[in-house]
């Protein structure tokens, strides 16, 4: 086997291993099946008056019953706010039709709005049933038929419309002395306030408990990756917990509940479901409640609940329980406002900041500030988010420059000793122990630490990973344009070498296709070129295997990162470019200016020699 074929086989195997490894660590999870008959929950014994929880099984019946209830012909109340549009069904008083005015599914002018909540039986193929149910659980022997349930038809004022200035009150009289009301208000963004009231006109005290449920049928159609949490998220007495969808299906069985996990909160908390950019969250205003997550296998139904304590309402008295519902986009500024001004504890932690949150949060604040300073609130430059990413990369590189400087200086010193080390290897060939001793003596004599260049690089890894995380999770990149053909920094580069970047009149593989990795755009190609130039600052390793690995690495990364969001690829290009400038400058200042073009020519000569046929 000649060297050309050998190198080709080795390179192919290496590339395959890298791509297989990437698929292993960042796999798309298959969506769970959604066909199946919902299974009714079992009925549990009502909780004691002193217990913080309401009623166990009876509460869960509401979500299951809602899944079995068709409300195609039920009257609805329109929701009309600057950020939201949709309707509330008077059958059960369900929040099951909600879209986000500021966000569309695609960049096309006629694209529908992003739909967050959808009813059972929805004809929207892009939205699985996803809704919020509120109600009361009976306690103390109260007949369940005397409290409103998912099939209760509420009444509302004629032509009522829910807006930030016009709350809406629903009402229902059970005909046996109990009158229920539900007053719903909403702000200009994504926060609803639901006040559930009951008036006791009977001759005896009644005991009952309010609840709220978010029910989700199946897993949303999205690419779930290792670096991002999607699933249930809850805060209980200042403790954050994230539970992925696959882990919800593994919950232990609880008596009277099915597969569930219950946690009692005494001070504060909230619970809901989060996607990459969107979230639906139940937020009790009072401290004590029970936080519940549940999975119903037969219906493929995921549930998040808040159960408030049992209330006793005396004859002639009334009671009100107030909760809040967040349903919308995870915009940092809005969520931060709810945390600071509405008193929702640690609400910004609903955004997945990752392991290095102590770095990710300040980085995001800086990116957010740069976006505002460069964009509409400052210079008003087009493509502000793209320039903000470049600016953030420059600032981060400047902050870690002292560490990088030590690394580059160490590399320059090692380069000075390279000829002497090569001579030493030749002289001690066949005697590795002697070579090791002489090499250590050389390091000691020249005061060189070969590991000095590694430590600064290791210290920078958390910083760069945090920056990657910030760019990946921030919603500000969603449909954010940059320059020219880059119209969405949260999506892969739409240009493709397969149709000569739009010159040829045929379509290219869509994102998600197994052939999309070959549909390289301009940004991924620039990424590969920037890595290649960065490598050429130093001569190729003398070891043929190492040289081959280094030669293929830029192009393997080019294909591997080609399907990443344009904003992430832009960050890597900026980072590589700045690193190239820093390394070239520092090595030149120490009298070892890199022979960039010489290294490039040498690389081509070696390749030509390998390709020359043997005689």
Q: How far apart are CA 197 and CA 181, in angstroms?
A: 5
Where is pLDDT greater, at 420 or 370? 370
With beta carbons less than 8 A apart as the criterion, state whether 130 and 219 touch. Answer: no
pLDDT at residue 56 tops 60: no
Can you give the pLDDT at residue 453? 60
Q: Which of 305-314, 352-361, 548-557 has the highest mean pLDDT?
A: 305-314
What is the C-alpha to C-alpha distance for residues 28 and 288, in angstroms, rounded to an integer? 38
Average pLDDT, integer, range 136-155: 92
* pLDDT for residue 603 is more than 50: yes
Q: 540, 609 in Cβ contact below 8 A?
A: no
Q: Which residue has the higher pLDDT, 558 or 51?
A: 558
pTM of the model: 0.82
Its sign, for the CA torsion 593, 598, 600, 606, is: negative
Q: The dihedral of CA 153, 158, 161, 165: what is its sign?
A: negative
What local confidence, expressed as pLDDT, does residue 499 receive?
75
What pLDDT shows up at residue 34?
Answer: 34
Buried b / exposed e across 231-248, counting CB within 10 Å, b at 16+?
Answer: bbbbbbeeeeeebebeeb
- Domains identified in the chain and CATH numbers: 76-352 (2.70.98.90), 384-603 (no CATH)
Residues present in the chain in total: 615
Q: Which of 225-229, 269-273, 398-402, 522-526 has the lowest mean pLDDT?
A: 225-229
Judge contact between 53 and 47, C-beta under 8 A: yes
Report pLDDT digits (tens) over 156-179.
Answer: 999 999 999 999 999 999 999 999
Shortest CA distance to 272 belongs to which of 164, 190, 362, 182?
Answer: 190
334 and 190 Cβ atoms separated by less than 8 Å: yes
| Residue ranges in 259-400 assigned as alpha helix (H) | 332-341, 357-374, 384-399
Give which of 225, 222, 181 is closest to 200, Cα–Cα.
Answer: 181
d(CA 572, CA 189): 34
Residue 273 scores a pLDDT above 80: yes
3-state secondary structure at position 587: helix
Q: What pLDDT score does 406 carry? A: 74
Using DSSP, state whether 353 is helix, strand or coil: coil
- How far is the C-alpha of 183 from the C-alpha of 195, rounded, in Å? 5
* Whole-number Å distance between alpha carbons of 520 and 509: 10
Q: Mean pLDDT over residues 295-317, rounded?
A: 95
Whether the CB-CB separation of 207 and 310 falls below 8 Å is answered with: yes
Q: Are 581 and 517 in contact (CB under 8 A)?
A: no
Closest C-alpha among 209, 219, 301, 215 to residue 258 = 301
Q: How confident is the model at residue 604 (pLDDT cuts 50, 70, 90)?
A: low
The C-alpha atoms of residue 457 and residue 601 are separated, in whole angstroms, by 29
User: What b/e string do you get for 578-588 counting C-beta neighbours within 10 Å, with b at 16 or more?
Assistant: bbbebbbebbe
**Euclidean distance between CA atoms 48 and 139, whole angstroms:** 9
Q: Kindly state the average pLDDT of the residues 601-615.
A: 59
Q: What is the pLDDT of residue 211?
A: 95
């Amino acid at each position: 086997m000649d060297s050309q074929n050998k190198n080709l086989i080795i390179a192919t195997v290496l590339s395959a291993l890298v791509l297989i490894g990437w698929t292993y660590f960042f796999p798309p999870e298959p969506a769970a099946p959604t066909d199946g008959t919902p299974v009714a929950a079992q009925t549990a014994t009502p909780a004691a008056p002193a217990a913080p929880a309401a009623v166990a099984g009876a509460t869960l019946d509401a979500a299951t019953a809602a899944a079995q209830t068709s409300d195609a012909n039920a009257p609805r109340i329109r929701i009309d706010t600057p950020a939201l549009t949709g309707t509330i069904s008077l059958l059960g008083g369900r929040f099951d039709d909600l879209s986000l005015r500021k966000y569309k599914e695609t960049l096309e002018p006629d694209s529908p709005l992003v739909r967050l909540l959808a009813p059972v039986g929805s004809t929207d193929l892009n939205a699985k049933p996803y809704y919020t149910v509120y109600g009361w659980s009976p306690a103390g022997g109260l007949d369940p038929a005397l409290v409103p349930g998912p099939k209760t038809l509420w009444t509302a004022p004629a032509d009522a419309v829910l807006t930030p200035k016009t709350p809406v009150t629903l009402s229902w009289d059970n005909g046996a002395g109990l009158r229920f009301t539900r007053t719903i208000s909403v702000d200009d963004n994504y926060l609803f306030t639901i006040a559930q009231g009951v008036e006791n006109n009977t001759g005896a005290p009644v005991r009952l408990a309010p609840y709220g449920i978010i029910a989700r049928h199946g897993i949303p159609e999205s690419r779930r990756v290792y670096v991002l949490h999607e699933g249930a998220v809850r805060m209980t007495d200042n403790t954050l917990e994230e539970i992925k969808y696959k882990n919800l299906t593994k919950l232990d069985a609880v008596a009277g509940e099915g597969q569930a996990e219950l946690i009692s909160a005494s001070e504060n908390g909230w619970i809901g479901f989060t996607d990459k950019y969107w979230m639906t969250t139940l937020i009790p205003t009072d401290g004590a409640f029970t936080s519940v997550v549940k999975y119903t296998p037969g219906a493929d139904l995921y549930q998040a609940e808040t159960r408030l304590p049992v209330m006793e309402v005396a004859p002639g008295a009334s009671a009100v329980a107030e909760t809040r519902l967040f349903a919308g986009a995870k915009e940092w500024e809005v969520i931060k406002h709810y945390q600071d001004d509405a008193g929702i504890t640690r609400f910004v932690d609903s955004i997945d900041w990752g392991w290095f949150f102590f770095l990710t949060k300040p980085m995001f604040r800086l990116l957010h500030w740069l976006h505002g300073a460069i964009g509409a609130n400052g210079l008003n430059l087009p493509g502000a988010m793209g320039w903000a990413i470049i600016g953030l990369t420059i600032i981060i590189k400047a902050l870690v420059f002292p560490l990088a400087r030590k690394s580059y200086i160490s590399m320059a010193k090692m380069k000075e000793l390279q000829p002497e080390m090569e001579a030493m290897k030749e002289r001690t060939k066949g005697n590795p122990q002697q070579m090791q001793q002489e090499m250590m003596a050389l390091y000691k004599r020249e005061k060189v630490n070969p590991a000095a260049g590694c430590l600064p690089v290791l210290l920078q890894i958390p910083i760069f990973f945090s920056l990657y995380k910030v760019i990946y999770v921030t919603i500000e990149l969603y449909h954010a344009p940059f320059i020219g053909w880059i119209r969405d920094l949260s999506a892969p580069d739409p240009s493709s070498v397969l149709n000569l970047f739009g010159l040829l009149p045929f379509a290219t593989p869509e994102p998600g296709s197994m052939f999309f990795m070959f549909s390289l755009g301009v940004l991924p190609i620039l990424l590969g070129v920037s890595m290649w130039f960065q490598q050429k600052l130093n001569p190729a390793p003398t070891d043929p295997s190492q040289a081959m690995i280094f030669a293929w690495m830029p192009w393997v990364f080019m294909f591997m990162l080609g399907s990443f969001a344009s904003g992430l690829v832009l960050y890597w290009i900026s980072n590589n470019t700045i690193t190239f400038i820093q390394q070239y400058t520092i090595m030149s200042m120490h009298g070892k200016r890199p022979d960039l073009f010489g290294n490039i020519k040498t690389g081509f000569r070696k390749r030509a020699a390998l390709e020359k046929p043997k005689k």
